[in-house]
Amino acid sequence: MRRLRNVKIVATLGPASEDYDMIRALYEAGADVFRLNMSHGTHDEIREKHRIIRQIEKELDSPIAILADLQGPKLRVGVFANEEEELADGATFRFDLDDVPGDATRVQLPHPEIFAALSKGAHLLVNDGKIRLRVTDCGPEFATCEVIAGGTISNRKGVNVPDVVLPLAALSDKDRDDLEFVCGLGVDWLALSFVQRAEDVEEARALVQGRAAVLSKIEKPSAVDGFEAILAASDGIMVARGDLGVELPVQNVPPIQKRLVRRCRAAAKPVIVATQMLESMISSPMPTRAEVSDVATAIYEGADAIMLSAESAAGDYPVEAVTTMNNVAVEVESDPTYTQIIEAQRTANRTSVADAIVAAAREIAETTEIKAICCFTESGTTALLTARERPRVPIIALTSLRGTARRLALTWGTNCVITSEVTRFKMAVVSAARAARAQGYAEPEDQIVVTAGLPFNVPGTTNILRVAPCDERLIYNTDPE
């Protein structure tokens, strides 16, 4: 299904979007990628959503990406004798390993790893940062704190520790089970929560064994600090602004978002901007103006994808939320200012033949009457490099591998077409011309740019560029074998 925009839309599935009719409606409204949140739902429920998506993909003959989002370790306080207590500013409060129900002075924190990492002056955040405490004394089994910002603390509220790198793996036992399950199902992307260091990504990649692309969620200050190494170890990035805004001052998040999006683009790796993009549409059919501006900002920054969470998973208006995102994207990308901003951010990253080929393809397309750039790709790298250029004409990614086509559904501007294997360049050009016409991007009298690698079906060998007609008779008459 041809989209009238380049940025991709990720829709999270949940109770409000779990049957065939709703999932198909979300796709037709504009969703390109479906996110399965492993924090919610049983394996049987996840399996059924996966089956429905693949059924829709087959019916519409259009590759759809599925992203499984692992929960990650959850740090929570224990329980209170009265279920909740009120903490006053300036009060002293203690966390410890004792499982006796808590009171107004203490509560269990059943995570010795936290105590092992704490030092005086470190901060603990409870209930999404609504309660803030500073450590005044600590040991292997306790932390005594001063309440900086008080409030109501209750059973099993989440805890964030922003100041230190915790000696915790990004994968819990549940995550390992979920990882094996979704890789066995055949998801295309695996999102890692609680990433603190590149080693967390490498551990997951070893378990994935190439069955899915690995995407790191940036939601902790340590991940921001070590971003370059994490980016190098990952296939893609999600800027998870929710937890990031809890562990960092909220005013820090927008510039971090801009920096991370630009770094991902320079590295030719897809990046998703996520969390609270159209939050009010959980219960309202219309977004706020500020939310529309937030979505537009991510698009102007050049993000590959923008994501809906509860809006499509549990909201009252999931289709309207996707439609709103689609409409905002179409409007923004038709703005001349958008093109100016995107092209001003373009950097010269030309260190290989493939880099030079895709840059030349973009320059030729933008200076002549070229209708599309058609790139043959096995691993997806050529399409990623082409998308990094953010050309003004459509990108048609042709591949014989369905898995590659699905993964590229997350990448800016890529229109994925599954073709039969080709062994001769002439047939590659013919296939590209047919795809450009079939997808409605070109007419027989138009021209396209075709990029490929010789020999064929060898990843990373992009080394040829051809300006070709869309009329097959001209191709057969003019192209060498």
CATH number of the domain residue 144 falls in:
2.40.33.10
Per the annotation, the verdict on 434 as an active-site residue is: no
Q: Mean pLDDT over all residues of the chain? A: 94
Band (pLDDT 50/70/90 cuts) for residue 479 is low
**Domain check: are 383 and 424 in the same one?**
yes
pLDDT per residue as tens digits for the range 58-108:
999 999 999 999 999 999 999 999 999 999 999 999 999 999 999 999 999
Q: Which one is catalytic: 275, 399, 451, 462? A: 275
**Domain check: are 191 and 317 in the same one?**
yes
- 130 in a structural domain: yes
Q: Which one is catalytic: 94, 217, 371, 466? A: 217
Q: What is the pLDDT of residue 335?
A: 97
Q: For residue 124, what are the domain limits? A: 84-160
What average pLDDT does range 334-355 have in this prediction? Answer: 88
SS3 4: coil
Asked if residue 455 has pLDDT above 70, the reply is yes
Q: What is the pLDDT of residue 203?
A: 96
pTM check: above 0.85: yes
Q: What is the pLDDT of residue 425?
A: 85
Closest C-alpha among 37, 70, 62, 68 to residue 409? 62
- 346 in a structural domain: no
Q: Which one is catalytic: 54, 74, 76, 176? A: 76
**Domain check: are 182 and 253 in the same one?**
yes
SS3 140: coil
**Total number of domains constituting the chain:** 3
**Domain check: are 153 and 290 in the same one?**
no
Q: What is the pLDDT of residue 120?
A: 96
**Domain check: are 16 and 151 in the same one?**
no
Interatomic CA distance for residues 125 and 265, integer angstroms? 33
What average pLDDT does range 115-139 have in this prediction? Answer: 95
Q: Which one is catalytic: 5, 8, 35, 205? A: 35
- 377 in a structural domain: yes
Per the annotation, the verdict on 399 as an active-site residue is: no
CATH number of the domain residue 294 falls in:
3.20.20.60
Per the annotation, the verdict on 35 as an active-site residue is: yes
Per the annotation, the verdict on 76 as an active-site residue is: yes
- 77 in a structural domain: no
Token digits for 195?
């990433």
Q: Could you give the C-alpha distances from 20 to 2, 17, 398, in angstroms and in order?
A: 21, 8, 28
**Domain check: are 65 and 109 in the same one?**
no
- 49 in a structural domain: yes
Q: What is the pLDDT of residue 336?
A: 96
pLDDT per residue as tens digits for the range 173-230:
999 999 999 999 999 999 999 999 999 999 999 999 999 999 999 999 999 999 999 9
**Domain check: are 433 and 285 in the same one?**
no
Band (pLDDT 50/70/90 cuts) for residue 420 is confident
- 138 in a structural domain: yes
Token digits for 219?
């939601």
What average pLDDT does range 129-144 have in this prediction? Answer: 96
pLDDT per residue as tens digits for the range 224-274:
999 999 999 999 999 999 989 999 999 999 999 999 999 999 999 999 999
